[in-house]
Amino acid sequence: MPYHRKNQTIIPPDNGWEGETCYQVEVKFNGANLQHYSIFYSGFLHTDNYPCGYNILFNPTYSRKYDISDVYYMKVLKKLDIKFGFSEEETPKNDQAT
């Protein structure tokens, strides 16, 4: 699974990645960084079923944007029931789109 960083450890969900899904994760950005919690949004999946595009890590203490290619270590703890984008009731119909 290429995530773009040498010596990177990624422990995916037991049932494999799901696209456009949020996970609670433990993460480190280098060997000296303390392991801490974050929310990971998987974005789009590569054809080999790993996150590749539009993924992001959320934590209010981060001073910049991070994605899976930035991490030294990441372990998925659990899938979260968080949705982004339009709700089912608010999704515009083709004839309503402007």
Burial of 84 (0-12, 13-18, 19+ CB in 10 A): exposed
Burial of 20 (0-12, 13-18, 19+ CB in 10 A): middle
pLDDT of residue 4: 60
Mean pLDDT value across residues 3-26: 90
pTM of the model: 0.81
Mean pLDDT value across residues 76-95: 75
- Structural tokens at position 81: 């029931």
pLDDT at 77 over 90: yes
- Other C-beta atoms lying within 10 Å of the C-beta of residue 2: 10
pLDDT at 95 over 60: no
> Residue 10 pairs with which residues in a beta bridge?
74
